[in-house]
Amino acid sequence: MAKSIYEMPEIKTKDKRFKSVFVTDQYFENCLIVGVEAYDNVGYNALNTTIQRFDDFYMAINKLLVENFEHINQKTDKVRVIIHSEMRTNEYILTKSGEIF
């Protein structure tokens, strides 16, 4: 079952773009899966309108995940982030220290 980061009580954010970021209970290759897809118009605009908005949201997602890693993933030291967008689909592994693979 997926939970929106925006609705997780232990994560403090008022940025409504994060309604489009979902933490699942599924793992692939020892990485927790975090999915990103437009939940509403705010998420749609962040992901699909301009490259700059996409890049800004991409950076904000990574920052929030690293800052709140212990609340999101307590089993492993990495997450697999999958971003679905009309502009591009992006999949990468983010570590607890902020490294991207």
Is pLDDT above 90 for 89?
Answer: no
- Closest-CA residue to 46 (of 57, 35, 62): 57
Contact between 94 and 100 under an 8 Å Cβ cutoff? The reply is yes
pTM for the full predicted model: 0.92
Is pLDDT above 90 for 1?
Answer: no
Q: Angle at the Cα of 95 (from 91 to 99), degrees rounded to 5? A: 85
91 beta partners: 82
Is pLDDT above 90 for 11?
Answer: yes
